[in-house]
Structure 1
Amino acid sequence: MSLIEWNPFRDMDNISREMANFFERSPFKFLGGMTSPRVDVYQTDNDVVVKAEIPGVAKEDINVYIDENSIRLSGQTRRNDEFKDENVYRAERYYGNFSRTIPLPVEVRSEQAKAEYKDGILSITIPKVEPSKQKGRRIDIQ
């Protein structure tokens, strides 16, 4: 009988698959998968721009809600009807609902927001509110 040297990394693929299956079937589902899109938020001189990665989702399945201080993205990734559990060899993609609220760096004009969805990237441009001259006032001390 020959001895086989123990290698802790040999079965990593099996272990990672078992861990993925555990999190997919458990109440801890938020730890894996796409529960919220990744975003970039930046400002230009006149606008706030938000770009979100939402690949594989039809634009009809994406909802965008904007107020003066934040954006909420939500939607659903749907599984094709031809995708049957008994025929699956590997299933790594996330299917289901997602949601994310993104605070904005400045106050915006939500009624003038524009959105475009192309190649899995949702781009939202919102004009900034022009800062008023002075919101407060000086008070004399008596």
Structure 2
Amino acid sequence: MTPTLTPWKTDMTPMADRFASRGNDPFLALHGGMNRLFDEVLRDFGMTGSWPHVDITDKDDEIVVEAELPGMEEKDVEVMLRDGVLTLRGERKDERSDEGHRVTERFRGQFERHIPLGAEIDEDKVSAQFANGELRITLPKAESEAPEAKKIEVKRAA
């Protein structure tokens, strides 16, 4: 088979198998190196998307935010609520060396995630629990009286 510069083929061979079959292709090595470089630079600027991934459930009386933080402990995570925005901040550390890894896709380093809530929260009743790498934050909605609707008479312009 003749090597090509395109990373796809017309058959259904998995991508990893296609790359492995090319051996020490310098273009493939360059491609992988550039991907890792951009991933690391963007991660340093907090632009790698929205890790950690969260599930947000908006119920009648509360908002529940669940975040998966595998490999972390509660002491590694900081949760803050300010001006209707929930902030998750922390750091995942890895004591292992990168030596010998061909590719590593595990995230480590600092993260910060801002989640606008869109509701008035009773800040005194907010709670957060952490167990088995899962963070669950319960944010009770503040009880506020809904303003009464006022009918406004429409007049003919003069």
1:54 touches 1:121 (CA, 8 Å); kept in 2? Answer: yes
TM-score by length of 1: 0.73
Provide closer, same or farther for how the CA distance between residues 62 and 88 of structure 1 changes in structure 2, counting only shifts above 3 A.
same
Equivalences, count = 133
Please state whether the residue corresponding to 2:99 is helix, strand or coil: helix
DSSP-derived class of the 1:60 partner: helix
* Secondary structure in structure 2 of the residue aligned to 1:94: coil
Name the CA distance, whole Å, in 2 between partners of 1:5 and 1:17: 17
CA contact (8 A) 1:68 1:107 kept: no
Aligned to 1:108: 121
Alpha-carbon shift at residue 5 of structure 1 (Å): 5.6
TM superposition shift of 1:91? 2.2
Q: Which has the higher contact order (CA 8 A, sep 6+)?
A: 1
Aligned: 1:71 with 2:49: no
Instruction: Name the counterpart of 2:62.
Output: 47
Counterpart Cα distance in 2 of 1:24 and 1:67: 30
Give the corresponding residue for 1:38.
Answer: 53
Kindly name which structure, 1 or 2, has the bigger radius of gyration based on alpha carbons: 2
Q: RMSD of aligned C-alpha atoms?
A: 3.1
The equivalent residue for 2:2 is: 4
Question: 8 Å contact 1:68–1:108 — kept in the other structure?
Answer: no
- Residue deviations 1:21-54 (CA, integer Å, cap 9, x gap): 212454x33454x763111222222211111122
1:68, 1:109 within 8 Å by CA — same for their partners in 2?
A: no
Tell me which of 91, 101, 104 is aligned to 1:91: 104
Query: Following the alignment from structure 1 to structure 2, what is the Cα–Cα distance between the partners of residues 64 and 128?
Result: 17
Of residues 5-14 and 127-136 in structure 1, the stretch that sits farther from structure 2 once superposed is 5-14
Structure 2 residue ranges without an equivalent (≥5): 8-17, 21-27, 152-158
Q: Taking every aligned residue pair, what percent have the same amino acid on both sides? A: 27
SS in 1 for 2:57: strand
The answer to whether the Cα contact below 8 Å between 2:73 and 2:130 also exists between their aligned partners in 1 is: no
Runs of 5+ unmatched residues, structure 1: none
CA offset digits 1:84-103 (Å, max 9, x no partner)? 23344542211110001111
Distance, in Å, in 1 between the alignment partners of 2:80 and 2:130 is 15
- SS in structure 1 opposite 2:52? coil
Q: Which amino acid aligns with 1:19?
A: M
**TM, length-normalised to structure 2:** 0.67
Q: Does 1:120 align with 2:118?
A: no
